[in-house]
């Protein structure tokens, strides 16, 4: 099967620090792929490079919309989002002064187009678009299970709900690939279980592929079809959950040196 995202030889330097060191990665349509590694391994930086927040020092990022190859390097984040990659943030970045519904409505920004004149005159097209945005956003909130909070300010939500709102917001951009940065961080076991179901539902119902950064190994092992492991910016392993579980290099990276002797 052809990949929908392919990263080749990507490297990212911050001054003297090499946060990512020639990493390859590819994702196929409908796949759930996990990116794991110890703290500071460079996982979030990897996301930032793909989504245009940083421009990688070298290497290539390709996507294949309708079979055509497109290079993402150097594109601005909003363009990358328009092309169908949506993400969440490890340190939750919601729009705190807006309501929950509005947060999701912002996600529709890229797929709508009313401008200043449209807003002022509020013609039929603009009205219809507004209605569509509200309806779609509400639908997404229902799907994610946040509909009871619609009119709350985003900042007043409990922590787990905030993480889910990040996912809802990303879904509103109509992505083909969803990048989740530690979606289970800070969740209790019950919430994590619900998250597990939610991610599966998103993949199964809408065929959205998922790239997942997560420290919760139970979640990673149960969800992903393929796992990449990075350490100090380098890819040290890739394979199925089974393969990764038994890979001595991975075990060493996670448990440190002392296990050797």
Partner 1 sequence: MDFEYFTQLFLGGLTRGSIYALIALGYTMVYGIIELINFAHGEIYMIGAFTGLIISSVLTMMGMPTLAVIVLAGMAAIIYSCSYGYTIEKIAYKPLRNAPRLSALISAIGMSLFLQNYVLLAQTSDFLPFPSLVPNFAFWEPYSHIISSAELMILLTTLIVMILLTLLIKFTKIGKAMRATSQDKVMASLLGINVDQVISATFVVGSATAAIGGILIASHIGQINFYMGFIAGIKAFVAAVLGGIGSIPGAVLGSFVLGWTESFFTGYISSDYEDVFAFIFLVVILIFRPSGILGRSQAQKV
Partner 2 sequence: MTAQNEIKKSILASLWFMFLTFPIMVIKVNTVTNSIEWRWHNMAIVGIGAFFLSMLWRYLLKRKEEGRKKDQSDGLSIVQRLLHERRFALPGLMIIGIFTLLFPHIFSMYQTNIMISALIFVVLGLGLNIVIGLAGLLVLGYAAFFAVGAYSYALLNLHYGIGFWIALPIGGIFAALFGILLGYPVLRLRGDYLAIVTLGFGEIIRLVLENWNEFSFGPSGIKNIPKPGFFGIEMSMHTTTIYIFYIVVVLVIFTIFVINRLKNSRIGRAWVALKDDEIASQAMGIDKAKTKLRAFALGATWAGMAGVVFASKTTFINPASFTLWESVIILCTVVLGGMGSIAGVIAGALLLILLPEYMRDFGQFRMITFGAVLILMMIFRPGGMIEDVRKTYKFEK
Ligand X SMILES: Nc1ncnc2c1ncn2[C@@H]1O[C@H](COP(=O)(O)OP(=O)(O)OP(=O)(O)O)[C@@H](O)[C@H]1O
17 binds, among ligand X, partner 1, Mg ion, none (CB under 5 to 8 A by kind): ligand X
Q: What is the DSSP letter of 99?
A: B
Contact 160, 188 (CB under 8 A): yes
Tokens encoding 97: 């002064």
List the alpha helices (DSSP H) in the chain.
43-50, 77-82, 100-107, 116-121, 124-144, 159-171, 189-206, 217-223, 241-245, 248-255
Cβ 129 to partner 2, closest distance in Å? 8
40 binds, among ligand X, partner 1, partner 2, none (CB under 5 to 8 A by kind): ligand X
Residue written as tokens 């990022």?
Answer: 61
Candidate list 8, 9, 14, 117; residue touching ligand X; CB under 6 A: 14
How far is 180 from 34, CA to CA, in rounded Å?
Answer: 9
Cβ 105 to ligand X, closest distance in Å? 29
Quick check: 53 binds Mg ion (CB under 5 A)?
no
How many Cβ atoms are within 10 Å of 15's Cβ, its own excluded? 5
Quick check: 16 binds partner 1 (CB under 8 A)?
no
Phi/psi of residue 143, nearest 5 degrees? -65, -40
156 binds, among partner 1, Mg ion, partner 2, none (CB under 5 to 8 A by kind): partner 2
How far is 73 from 227, CA to CA, in rounded Å?
Answer: 24
Going across the sheet that includes 3-14, the strands are 17-28, 3-14, 58-63, 70-71
Candidate list 44, 88, 126, 224; residue touching ligand X; CB under 6 A: 44
Residues 6+ apart with CB under 8 A from 119: 126
Quick check: 19 binds ligand X (CB under 6 A)?
yes
Cβ 214 to ligand X, closest distance in Å? 9
175 binds, among Mg ion, ligand X, partner 2, none (CB under 5 to 8 A by kind): none
Quick check: 119 binds partner 2 (CB under 8 A)?
yes
Quick check: 250 binds ligand X (CB under 6 A)?
no
Segment lying near partner 1 (by CB under 8 A), choices 48-56, 159-167, 213-221, 244-252: 48-56
Candidate list 14, 40, 119, 188; residue touching partner 1; CB under 8 A: 14
32-36 and 226-231 strand pairing: parallel
Tokens encoding 122: 């509020």
Q: Which residue lies nearer to ligand X by CB, 140 or 179?
A: 179
Q: Spell out, one character per residue from 4 to 43, where the chain touches partner 2: x when CB under 8 A holds, - when not.
A: ----------------------------------------
Contact 166, 172 (CB under 8 A): no
Q: Which residue lies nearer to partner 2 by CB, 74 or 248?
A: 74
Q: Which residue lies nearer to partner 2 by CB, 181 or 238?
A: 181
How far is 90 from 183, CA to CA, in rounded Å?
Answer: 7
Quick check: 26 binds Mg ion (CB under 5 A)?
no
């Amino acid at each position: 099967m052809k990949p929908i995202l392919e990263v080749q030889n990507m490297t990212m330097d911050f001054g003297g620090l090499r946060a990512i060191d020639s990493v390859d990665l590819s994702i196929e349509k409908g796949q759930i792929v996990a990116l794991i590694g110890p703290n500071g391994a460079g996982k979030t930086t990897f996301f930032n490079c793909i989504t245009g927040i940083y421009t990688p020092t070298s290497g290539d990022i390709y996507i294949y919309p309708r079979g055509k190859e497109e290079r993402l390097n150097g594109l601005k984040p909003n363009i990358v989002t328009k092309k169908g990659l949506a993400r969440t943030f490890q340190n939750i970045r919601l729009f705190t002064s807006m309501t929950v519904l509005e947060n999701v409505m912002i996600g529709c920004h890229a797929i709508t187009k009313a401008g200043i004149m449209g807003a002022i005159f509020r013609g039929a097209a603009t009205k219809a678009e507004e209605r569509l945005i509200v309806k779609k956003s509400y639908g997404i909130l229902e799907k994610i299970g946040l509909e009871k909070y619609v009119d709350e300010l985003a900042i007043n939500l409990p922590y787990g709900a905030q993480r889910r709102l990040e996912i809802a917001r990303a879904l509103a951009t109509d992505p083909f690939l969803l990048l989740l940065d530690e979606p289970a961080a800070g969740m209790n076991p019950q919430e994590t279980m619900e998250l597990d179901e939610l991610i599966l539902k998103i993949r199964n119902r809408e065929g959205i592929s998922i790239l997942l950064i997560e420290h919760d190994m139970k979640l990673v092992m149960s969800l992903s079809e393929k796992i990449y492991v990075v350490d100090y910016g380098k890819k040290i392993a890739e394979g199925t959950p089974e393969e990764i579980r038994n890979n001595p290099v991975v075990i060493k990276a996670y448990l440190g040196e002392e296990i050797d002797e």
